[in-house]
Amino acid sequence: MNQNRHLMQPDSCPAFIDFEASSLDLIASYPIEVGLCLPDGALHSWLIRPNRQWQDWSDSAEAIHGISRSRLEQEGRPVAEVVEQLNGLLSGQVFCDAWTFDSFWLHRLYRAAGETPAFQLESISMLLDQTQVRHWSGVRQQVIAELGLPVHRAANDALILHHTWQKLTCRGEASVQ
């Protein structure tokens, strides 16, 4: 049993967050989209207008997430607005499945806005015991197939985390194949 499971009550569901980014470069990349799935399953997402200092762009990353830089410049919300919305919706611990990348992009977003997150970003692994960690990937693939949603869009990926978590914890280990 993971000693960190005390972070959540057994019957409560956490909030999940996911980012899409300009590339996977952990020096130059920046967040281009953020999505949330709140404990009740409500989804929120924002395209993020690139800050003027953010120049990194990967055509291969664009091919994966399908969001162009010109679309971000036209439809993206200013970083300060996105940060304000996130802080208004989130508190306590919020969970992600790629902590190294997501924490980098979260920090980059908040630094550009000159703000501090009203929540603490944690890895989903902090919530899972060893058996759940072993089954996570397989259950995630089942959820993706069941939902039929495209991956690599922030809100979809946050919803996939939510459903995977529910399938592993709320329905118990018996539902894990």
pLDDT tens, residue by residue, 46-70: 999 999 999 999 999 999 999 999 9
Span 150-161, pLDDT tens digits: 999 999 999 999
Q: What is the pTM of this model?
A: 0.90
Angstrom CA distances, 140 to 35, 93, 176, stand at: 17, 21, 11
Residue 31 contacts residue 48 (beta carbons within 8 Å): yes
